[in-house]
């Protein structure tokens, strides 16, 4: 979610109708670059596109042991690039799933419902706000570091000047 590039959103879900509808909502109401994937493997293979946000169906391949589950894909995404914000999607609102998602550093957990798209936009807005705050904080830290360094130099130089040029600096 940098200022220089278009926000890239990945949607990973086993349901082709859901993928089509969710992507259409993003394309109609945002300027994001949206990519859809039916499997976690397709998503992982496309991480070179540097997505900012991934909406990931946690129920991927629950009954297909030859492919990664949503949790496994989440773990692999975060191990490959911890800066990617993964928002987990589920049809269930279960506390143990939410806690597992937090454990594996998902940014948020959303239950699929008729308000999913609206809530998704709210989360993205919160991400942008968080990024702005982090950028301001980073600039503040840099400015503070420069100020402290300058003060340290001044505090170090004054005694040296007093020692070598006692007549030019009035210490009274």
Q: What is the 3-state secondary structure (H, E, C) of the chain?
A: CCCCCCCEEEEECCCHHHHHHHHHHHHHHCCCEEEEECCHHHHHHCHHHCCCEEEEECCCCCCCCCCCCHHHHHHHHHHHCCCCEEEEEECCCCHHHHHHHHHCCCCEEEECCCCHHHHHHHHHHHHHHHHHHHHHHHHHHHHHHHHHHHHHHHHHHHHHHHHHCCCCCCCC
Q: Output the pLDDT for position 2.
A: 46
Q: Which two tokens stand for residue 109?
A: 């957990």
The distance of Cα 80 from the centroid of its chain, to the nearest Å, equals 13
- pLDDT grade for 46, boundaries at 50, 70 and 90: very high
pLDDT computed for residue 10 by the predictor: 97
More confident residue, 10 or 5: 10
Predicted structure pTM score: 0.74
What sign results for the dihedral spanned by CA atoms 158, 164, 167, 168? negative
pLDDT score recorded for residue 166: 75
pLDDT, tens only, 126-163: 988 988 888 878 888 888 888 888 888 888 888 887 78
In this prediction, residue 171 carries a pLDDT of 54
Q: Give me the residue spans of the domains in the chain.
A: 8-133
Domain 8-133, CATH number (from 3.40.50.2300, 3.40.920.10, 3.50.50.60, 3.20.20.150): 3.40.50.2300
**Does residue 22 carry a pLDDT above 90?**
yes
Predicted confidence band of residue 172 (pLDDT cuts 50, 70, 90): low
Contacts of 18 (CB under 8 A, 6+ apart): 112
Q: Give residue 36's pLDDT.
A: 97
Instruction: Determine which of 9-13, 48-52, 60-64, 144-148 has the lowest per-residue pLDDT on average.
Output: 60-64
Q: What pLDDT, in 10s, does the model give residues 66-120?
A: 678 888 999 999 999 999 999 999 887 777 677 777 777 888 988 999 999 999 9
Cβ neighbours of 18 (radius 10 Å): 16
Beta-bridge partners for 34: 9
């Amino acid at each position: 979610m940098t200022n220089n590039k278009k926000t890239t959103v990945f949607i990973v879900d086993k349901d082709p109708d859901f993928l089509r509808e969710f992507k259409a909502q993003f394309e109609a109401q945002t300027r994001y670059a949206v990519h859809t994937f039916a499997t976690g493997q397709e998503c992982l293979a496309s991480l070179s596109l540097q997505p900012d946000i991934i909406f990931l169906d946690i129920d991927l391949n629950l009954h297909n042991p030859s492919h990664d589950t949503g949790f496994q894909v989440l773990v692999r995404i975060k191990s490959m690039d911890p800066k990617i914000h993964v928002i987990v999607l589920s049809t269930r609102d279960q506390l143990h799933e939410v806690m597992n998602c937090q454990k594996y550093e998902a940014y948020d957990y959303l239950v699929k419902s008729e308000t999913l798209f609206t809530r998704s936009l709210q989360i993205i807005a919160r991400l942008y706000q968080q990024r702005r705050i982090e950028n301001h904080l980073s600039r503040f830290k840099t400015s503070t570091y420069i100020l402290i360094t300058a003060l340290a130099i001044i505090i170090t130089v004054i005694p040296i000047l007093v020692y070598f040029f006692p007549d030019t600096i009035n210490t009274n």
